[in-house]
């Protein structure tokens, strides 16, 4: 599905969606060409909780939680800078 089709099929709803085909443009804008609706949610808090649960279960999937009132998706890719706790060096005593 494309975003317009999702909006028409699920008007005014919170959804968990998965990008099946996507690309990143020069300005770091993530363009979702083809997506699937994974779950419908009662409200934004439920959507966030569902997203967290699914992201933890399936970390390799490109999942988002969105509301269909948005005319366009504005998803920006950000480089993560920092040290992950599993890779951090511990101070020696």
Summarize pLDDT for 60-71 with one digit per residue, the tens.
Answer: 999 999 999 999
Please tell me the pTM assigned to this model: 0.81
pLDDT digits (tens, 9 = 90+) for 11-58: 999 999 999 999 999 899 999 999 999 999 999 999 999 999 999 999
Res. 89: pLDDT tops 90: no
Q: Where do the structural domains in the chain lie, given as residue ranges?
A: 3-77
Res. 88: pLDDT tops 60: no
Q: Give one DSSP letter per residue of 28-62, joined into a string.
A: SEEEEEEEEEEEEESSHHHHHHHHHHHHHH-TTS-
Tokens of 39: 């779950």
Res. 84: pLDDT tops 80: no
Sheet with 14-24: strands ordered across:
63-67, 14-24, 29-41, 75-76
Res. 93: pLDDT tops 60: no
């Amino acid at each position: 599905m494309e975003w317009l089709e999702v909006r028409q099929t699920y008007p005014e709803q919170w959804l968990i969606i998965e990008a099946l085909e996507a690309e990143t443009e020069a300005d770091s804008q993530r363009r979702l060409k083809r997506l699937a609706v994974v779950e419908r949610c009662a409200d934004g808090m439920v959507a966030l909780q569902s997203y967290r649960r699914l992201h933890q279960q399936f970390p390799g999937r490109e999942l988002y939680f969105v509301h269909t009132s948005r005319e366009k998706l504005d998803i920006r890719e950000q480089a993560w800078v920092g040290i992950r706790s599993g890779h951090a060096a511990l101070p020696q005593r």
